[in-house]
Amino acid sequence: MSSSDLGRALCIITGASRGFGRAVAVQLSRLVKPGSVLVLTARSGDDLRALQEELSGSEAGKAGLKAVCVVTDLGQKEGPESIVKAAVEASSEEIEHIILINNAGSLGDVSRFTKDFTTMADVDSYLSFNFSSCLCLTAGILQKFPKRPGLKRTVVNVSSLCALQPFSSWVLYCSGKAARHMMFKVLAQEEPDLRVLNYSPGPLDTAMQEVARSVTGDSGLRKAFSDMFSEGKLLTCEESCAKMMKLLLEDKYTSGDQIDVYDRT
């Protein structure tokens, strides 16, 4: 491992079928050494397999990068379990770096305000996917790949400004991101050998942003997202992802800290 590569790695990427997660998979594939494995997961099997094919035809694929797909719903109990199982099966003794990218997420119902959420089942199902699955997947991977000499372990939480700041009508999203943020801060304190990065990717031109600018209940916030889109202020996944890769390569961040795409580092 050097400052120009991430070593022979086992990378697990949730939400790899589209948006930011897909960009992460593509950029990681160029930074890992031959013999590395990418575990790509999401619910959309066709999109994952298209990415798998693209990677196998790439330079990295020809040099020996392997990509496996795990089609699973992280809102279900089996989700994290099936990903951990696939990661164990895909691993080998030569792996020198485990990289878990907790990227999958959803906005939830942003058309409603806090006082509208009277049904516990709605809140539970949002948090099951956006918080519980992330904790259980991370815990499962850490158990199966414990600390050992020669093995580096990195866990990334794809976070948001919403982990730190309230946004009207986004109670589920902000609360879920705040909970994840604290979860990874606790983890960083508990496991000093682990590298834990909370990365806030900025406003990205993805399906999630489309929902944000069309459905957001707070009219001022909805207009702010619309304006960002029409004024060309959204970032591409590729440019934000490049900043995250730089952080991982340089490896100088304080474990547990949240770093925003716009931060000067």
Give me the torsion for CA of 22, 88, 135, 81, rounded to 10°.
Answer: 100
Question: What CA–CA distance (Å, rounded) separates 173 from 185?
Answer: 18
- The residue range among 27-35, 37-45, 54-62, 252-260 that interacts with ligand NAP, by the rule CB under 6 A, is 37-45
Contact flag: residue 10 with ligand NAP (CB under 6 A):
no
User: 229 to each of 18, 58, 206, how far by Cα in Å?
Assistant: 19, 32, 11
Place of tokens 């795990």: 70
DSSP annotation of 158 reads E
Q: CB 64 → ligand NAP: shortest distance, Å?
A: 26
Q: CB 90 → ligand NAP: shortest distance, Å?
A: 18
Q: Hey, what are 23's tokens?
A: 């960009």
Q: CB 214 → ligand NAP: shortest distance, Å?
A: 13
Contact flag: residue 81 with ligand NAP (CB under 6 A):
no
User: Which residues, 6+ apart, have CB-to-CB distance to 77 below 8 Å?
Assistant: none
Nearer Cβ to ligand NAP (9/48): 48
Contact flag: residue 256 with ligand NAP (CB under 6 A):
no
Output the residue with the shortest Cβ distance to ligand NAP: 19
Tally of helices (H runs) and strands (E runs) in the chain = 10, 7
Nearer Cβ to ligand NAP (19/256): 19
Contact flag: residue 36 with ligand NAP (CB under 6 A):
no
Task: Kindly tell me which residue out of 6, 17, 37, 141 binds ligand NAP, with binding defined by CB under 6 A.
Answer: 17
Contact flag: residue 75 with ligand NAP (CB under 6 A):
yes
Q: Hey, what are 217's tokens?
A: 């209940």
- The residue range among 91-99, 101-109, 147-155, 189-197 that interacts with ligand NAP, by the rule CB under 6 A, is 101-109
Q: Which own/partner pairs from 142-151 qualify as long-range (CB within 8 Å, at least 24 positions apart)?
A: 142/191, 142/194, 144/84, 144/87, 144/88, 145/10, 145/87, 145/91, 145/98, 147/191, 147/193, 147/194, 150/96, 151/95, 151/96, 151/97, 151/98
Task: Kindly tell me which residue out of 139, 186, 207, 242 binds ligand NAP, with binding defined by CB under 6 A.
Answer: 207
Task: Kindly tell me which residue out of 52, 160, 175, 198 binds ligand NAP, with binding defined by CB under 6 A.
Answer: 160
Neighbours of 165 (CB within 10 A): 11
- The residue range among 71-79, 164-172, 189-197, 244-252 that interacts with ligand NAP, by the rule CB under 6 A, is 71-79
Q: Which residues of the shown chain bind ligand NAP in the complex (CB under 6 A)?
A: 15, 17-21, 42-44, 47, 73-75, 103-106, 129, 158, 160, 201, 203-204, 206-209
